[in-house]
Amino acid sequence: MSVLDSKIPSGPLADKWTKHKNEINLVNPANKRNIDVIVVGTGLAGGSAAATLAELGYNVKTFCYQDSPRRAHSIAAQGGINASKNYQGDGDSDYRLFYDTVKGGDYRSREANVYRLAEVSGNIIDQCVAQGVPFAREYGGLLDNRSFGGVLVSRTFYAKGQTGQQLLLGAYSAMNRQINRGKIQSFTRHEMMDLVLVDGKARGIIARDMVTGEIQKHSAHAVVLASGGYGNVFFLSTNAMGSNVMAAWRAHKRGAYFANPCYTQIHPTCIPVSGDHQSKLTLMSESLRNDGRIWVPKKKEDAIAIREGRLKPTDLSEEERDYYLERRYPAFGNLVPRDVASRAAKERCDAGFGVNKTGEAVFLDFASAIERYGKEKAFTSGHKNASKEEITRLGKEVVEAKYGNLFQMYQKIVDQNPYETPMMIYPAVHYTMGGLWVDYNLQTTIPGCYAAGEANFSDHGANRLGASALMQGLADGYFVLPYTIGDYLSNDIRTGAISTDLPEFAEAEKNVKDKIDRLMKASGKHSVDHYHKKLGKIMWNKCGMARNAQGLQEALEEIKALREDFWKNVKVTGKAETKNAELEKAGRVADFLELGELFAKDALHRNESCGGHFREEYQTEEGEALRDDENFKYVAAWEYTGDPREAKLHKEDLVFDNIELKTRSYK
Amino acid sequence: MKLTLKIWRQDGANTKGKMVDYPIDGIEGDMSFLEMLDVLNEELVAKGEEPVEFDHDCREGICGSCSLQINGEPHGPDRLITTCQLHMRSFNDGDTITIEPFRANAFPVIKDLIVDRTAFDRIQQAGGYVSVNTSGNTIDANSIPVNKHNADDSFNAATCIGCGACVAACKNASAMLFTSAKVSQYALLPQGRVEAVDRVQAMVRQMDEEGFGNCSNTGACELECPKGISLENIARMNREYLSANAKG
Which of A52, A71, A130 is facing B138, going by the closest CB pair?
A: A130
Nearest to residue A538, comparing CAs of A235, A258, A224, A252?
A235
Chosen from B57, B66, B185 to mutate, greatest number of chain A CBs within 10 A: B57
Out of B67, B89, B111, a domain closes at B111
Q: Is A67 in the B-facing interface, judged by CB distances under 8 Å?
A: yes
Considering the domain architecture, whether residues B107 and B190 belong to the same structural domain is answered as no
Which chain A positions have a beta carbon within 8 Å of B148's beta carbon? 137-139, 141
pLDDT (tens digit per residue) in A346-369: 999 999 999 988 899 999 999 999
Which chain B positions have a beta carbon within 8 Å of A87's beta carbon? 142
Which chain A positions have a beta carbon within 8 Å of B140's beta carbon? 126
Pick the residue from chain A with its C-alpha nearest to B115: A67
Is B128–A176 a contact, with Cβ atoms under 8 angstroms apart?
yes
Q: What pLDDT band is residue A458 in, cutting at 50, 70 and 90?
A: confident
Please tell me the predicted confidence (pLDDT) of residue A404.
86
The enclosing domain of B171 has a CATH number of 1.10.1060.10
pLDDT > 70: percent of chain A: 100
Cα A157 to chain centroid, rounded? 18
Chosen from A48, A70, A137 to mutate, greatest number of chain B CBs within 10 A: A137
Is B132–A180 a contact, with Cβ atoms under 8 angstroms apart?
no
- Give me the count of residues in chain B: 248
pLDDT higher than threshold 80 for residue A35: yes
Q: Which residues contact B77 (CB under 8 A, 6 or more apart)?
A: B70, B71, B86, B90
Which chain A positions have a beta carbon within 8 Å of B139's beta carbon? 126, 130
Considering the domain architecture, whether residues B7 and B106 belong to the same structural domain is answered as yes
Considering the domain architecture, whether residues B96 and B179 belong to the same structural domain is answered as no
What is the arithmetic mean of pLDDT over A512-516?
98
Which chain B positions have a beta carbon within 8 Å of A137's beta carbon? 145-146, 148, 151-152
For residues A398 and A393, what is the distance between their CA atoms, to the nearest angstrom? 9
- Give me the count of residues in chain A: 667
Dihedral of CA atoms A347, A348, A349, A354 in degrees, nearest 10, equals -170
Please tell me the predicted confidence (pLDDT) of residue A665.
83
Is A142–B148 a contact, with Cβ atoms under 8 angstroms apart?
no
**Total domain count for chain B?**
2
Is A66–B12 a contact, with Cβ atoms under 8 angstroms apart?
no
What is the arithmetic mean of pLDDT over A148-174?
93
Strand-by-strand arrangement of the A435-436 sheet: A435-436, A258-259, A634-639, A648-653
- The answer to whether A144 and B155 are in contact (CB under 8 A) is no
Is B45–A527 a contact, with Cβ atoms under 8 angstroms apart?
yes
pLDDT (tens digit per residue) in A163-213: 999 999 999 999 999 999 999 999 999 999 999 999 999 999 999 999 999
Q: Which residues contact A287 (CB under 8 A, 6 or more apart)?
A: A78, A79, A80, A146, A148, A156, A158, A161, A403, A466
- ipTM exceeds 0.95, yes or no: yes
pLDDT higher than threshold 70 for residue B138: yes
Q: Rg of chain B over CA atoms, in angstroms?
A: 20
Give me the total of CB pairs closer than 8 Å, taking one residue from chain A and one from chain B: 220
Considering the domain architecture, whether residues B41 and B141 belong to the same structural domain is answered as no
What is the arithmetic mean of pLDDT over B217-245?
97
Is B12–A578 a contact, with Cβ atoms under 8 angstroms apart?
yes
H-state helical runs in A257-380: 300-307, 324-328, 338-348, 367-380
Considering the domain architecture, whether residues B62 and B101 belong to the same structural domain is answered as yes
pLDDT (tens digit per residue) in A294-341: 999 999 999 999 999 999 999 999 999 999 999 999 999 999 999 999
The enclosing domain of B30 has a CATH number of 3.10.20.30
Half-sphere exposure of residue A521: CA atoms within 13 angstroms, side-chain side: 6
Is B130–A132 a contact, with Cβ atoms under 8 angstroms apart?
yes
Is A176–B138 a contact, with Cβ atoms under 8 angstroms apart?
no
| Dihedral (CA of B70, B75, B78, B84) sign | positive
- The answer to whether A177 and A101 are in contact (CB under 8 A) is no
For residues A590 and A593, what is the distance between their CA atoms, to the nearest angstrom? 5
Is B59–A240 a contact, with Cβ atoms under 8 angstroms apart?
yes
| Dihedral (CA of A455, A458, A462, A463) sign | negative
Which of B85, B151, B192 is facing A412, going by the closest CB pair?
A: B85
Q: What pLDDT band is residue A2 in, cutting at 50, 70 and 90?
A: low
Please tell me the predicted confidence (pLDDT) of residue A149.
79
What is the arithmetic mean of pLDDT over B74-86?
96
Please tell me the predicted confidence (pLDDT) of residue A1.
42
Considering the domain architecture, whether residues B101 and B145 belong to the same structural domain is answered as no
For residues A224 and A41, what is the distance between their CA atoms, to the nearest angstrom? 9
Minimum distance, in Å, between the CA of residue A65 and any CA atom of chain B? 10
Please tell me the predicted confidence (pLDDT) of residue B248.
64
pLDDT higher than threshold 80 for residue A3: no
**Which A residues in the span 184-203 are in contact with B, Cβ-Cβ below 8 Å?**
186, 188
A108 included as an active-site residue: no
Considering the domain architecture, whether residues B101 and B168 belong to the same structural domain is answered as no
pLDDT (tens digit per residue) in A589-598: 999 999 999 9
pLDDT > 90: percent of chain A: 91
3-state secondary structure A543-568: CCCCECHHHHHHHHHHHHHHHHHHHH
Cα A391 to chain centroid, rounded? 39
Which chain A positions have a beta carbon within 8 Å of B63's beta carbon? 66, 71, 73, 75-76, 240
Considering the domain architecture, whether residues B182 and B89 belong to the same structural domain is answered as no
3-state DSSP assignment of residue A526:
strand
Which chain A positions have a beta carbon within 8 Å of B186's beta carbon? 132
For residues B26 and B190, what is the distance between their CA atoms, to the nearest angstrom? 54
Q: Read off the DSSP letter of residue A232.
A: G
**Which A residues in the span 470-499 are in contact with B, Cβ-Cβ below 8 Å?**
478-479
pLDDT higher than threshold 50 for residue A468: yes
Minimum distance, in Å, between the CA of residue B127 and any CA atom of chain A? 7
Pick the residue from chain A with its C-alpha nearest to B187: A132
Minimum distance, in Å, between the CA of residue A563 and any CA atom of chain B? 20
Is B162–A241 a contact, with Cβ atoms under 8 angstroms apart?
no
Pick the residue from chain B with its C-alpha nearest to A481: B135
Is A55–B116 a contact, with Cβ atoms under 8 angstroms apart?
no
Q: Is A503 in the B-facing interface, judged by CB distances under 8 Å?
A: no
Chosen from B33, B62, B155 to mutate, greatest number of chain A CBs within 10 A: B62
For residues A105 and A624, what is the distance between their CA atoms, to the nearest angstrom? 15
Chosen from A189, A280, A408, A519 to mutate, greatest number of chain B CBs within 10 A: A280
Which chain B positions have a beta carbon within 8 Å of A415's beta carbon? 30, 87, 89
pLDDT (tens digit per residue) in A228-271: 999 999 999 999 999 999 999 999 999 999 999 999 999 999 99
Out of B111, B138, B161, a domain closes at B111
- The answer to whether A450 and A443 are in contact (CB under 8 A) is yes
Out of B47, B80, B111, a domain closes at B111
Q: Is A84 in the B-facing interface, judged by CB distances under 8 Å?
A: no
Which of B46, B50, B118 is facing A574, going by the closest CB pair?
A: B50
What is the arithmetic mean of pLDDT over A135-147?
93
Which of A52, A186, A279 is facing B59, going by the closest CB pair?
A: A279
H-state helical runs in A353-418: 367-380, 388-414
Considering the domain architecture, whether residues B65 and B157 belong to the same structural domain is answered as no
Is A177–B131 a contact, with Cβ atoms under 8 angstroms apart?
yes
Give the range of the structural domain holding residue B48, as residue numbers without chain letter: 3-111
Considering the domain architecture, whether residues B7 and B90 belong to the same structural domain is answered as yes
Q: Which of A146, A293, A307, A338 is catalytic?
A: A338
Minimum distance, in Å, between the CA of residue B245 and any CA atom of chain A? 22
pLDDT (tens digit per residue) in A619-649: 998 888 999 999 999 999 999 999 999 999 9
Is B134–A240 a contact, with Cβ atoms under 8 angstroms apart?
no
pLDDT (tens digit per residue) in B40-52: 999 999 999 999 9
Q: What pLDDT band is residue A430 in, cutting at 50, 70 and 90?
A: very high
Which of A143, A408, A578 is facing B142, going by the closest CB pair?
A: A143
For residues A238 and A426, what is the distance between their CA atoms, to the nearest angstrom? 12
For residues A61 and A318, what is the distance between their CA atoms, to the nearest angstrom? 58
Considering the domain architecture, whether residues B100 and B83 belong to the same structural domain is answered as yes
Dihedrals phi, psi of A162, to nearest 5 degrees: -125, 40
Which of A132, A211, A478 is facing B134, going by the closest CB pair?
A: A478
pLDDT (tens digit per residue) in A538-574: 999 999 999 999 999 999 999 999 999 999 999 999 9
Dihedral of CA atoms A88, A93, A97, A100 in degrees, nearest 10, equals -90
Is B111–A578 a contact, with Cβ atoms under 8 angstroms apart?
yes
Considering the domain architecture, whether residues B178 and B72 belong to the same structural domain is answered as no
What is the arithmetic mean of pLDDT over A38-62?
98
Q: CA-CA distances (angstroms) from residue A83 to A147, A292, A432, A653, B241?
A: 11, 24, 21, 28, 37
